[in-house]
Amino acid sequence: MRLHHRNISCISFLSKAPYGHLCAKLQEQVWVKTVPGTGMCTDRSEQKNVTLDQILADRRSYRRFRPEYPPEDAIRRIIHAGLLAPFAAAAVGNSTDYFRRFFVMKKGSQSMTAAAPLVMAEIHRMSENLHEEMKNNPRLRERAMGFAQRLAMIKKQGIVPGFGTAPYYIVVAERKGYPPVELQSLAHCMENMWLKATALELGFQLVSITSEMAHNPEFCNILGITPGEWELMGCAIGYPQEILSPSIRPPVEEVTRWLE
């Protein structure tokens, strides 16, 4: 039933008249593998695009998880998708050690219990530093007010969203190179993992506070990595409490300029 609904929304999305360019562009992709001389698309290429479009639209930030653990095999498949993401070969090319690492923590595990107070302490530090900076910087005060309030709420509730709120918390570490593009590589990795989790019908939440832990010696010690050598990013994964509807974004034409 759910798949059926998604198929329909995907197809009707493609055929909406005002998005002529989008329609043409997507059709171009769908029809890229044509039967020679006929201009007809192969079923396989069309099916690939329909499936990919569905996964892209279904990818959402899930923030409420059921307590059951997804199978470890699913987590391995998600990690494999992360490994397939691009990496900055020119920046880390000379590294003698592999450039990307994954650390899986289960809710309630020893590692998670040890890491929890370190993450909360980092939230307190960030909040205090931000308040100090905002005092003397009106522009920052304006821009960072929302984030400062979010930190205040996390402190009050004593819960870091995504950290210990899902069955799995996964940290990805990317070796630092030059130029320093590790965070971009991590974003590519996370997106691959996110899409794979979506295809496996699992909920996924970015836990971006993880990047602040890259310089925390105790946190790095739990992972078994040297502080300062890696950038970090994290995510929470589990079965979602409820299924969210597909992403809503503005029409392509509204946000795109085709330059001469």
Ligand X SMILES: Cc1cc2nc3c(=O)[nH]c(=O)nc-3n(C[C@H](O)[C@H](O)[C@H](O)COP(=O)(O)O)c2cc1C
Interface residues toward ligand X, by CB under 6 A: 60-61, 63, 161-162, 205-208, 247
DSSP secondary structure of 217-255: HHHHHHHT--TTSEEEEEEEEE-BSSPPPPP----HHHH
In the structure encoding, which two tokens stand for residue 188, read together?
A: 């590519």
Q: What is the DSSP letter of 65?
A: B
63 or 101: CB nearest ligand X: 63
Find the shortest distance in angstroms from Cβ 161 to ligand X: 5
Do residues 21 and 258 lie in contact, with contact meaning Cβ atoms separated by under 8 Å?
yes
Q: How far is the CB of 242 from ligand X (least distance, A)?
A: 13
Helix axes 20-30, 2-14, angle to 10 degrees: 120
Residues 6+ away with beta carbon under 8 Å from 184:
88
Cβ nearer to ligand X, comparing 27 with 184: 184
Shortest Cβ 159–ligand X spacing (Å): 12
Q: CB nearer to ligand X: give 40 or 56.
A: 56
> CB-wise, 197 or 206, nearer to ligand X?
206
Tell the smallest beta-carbon distance from residue 207 to ligand X (Å).
Answer: 5
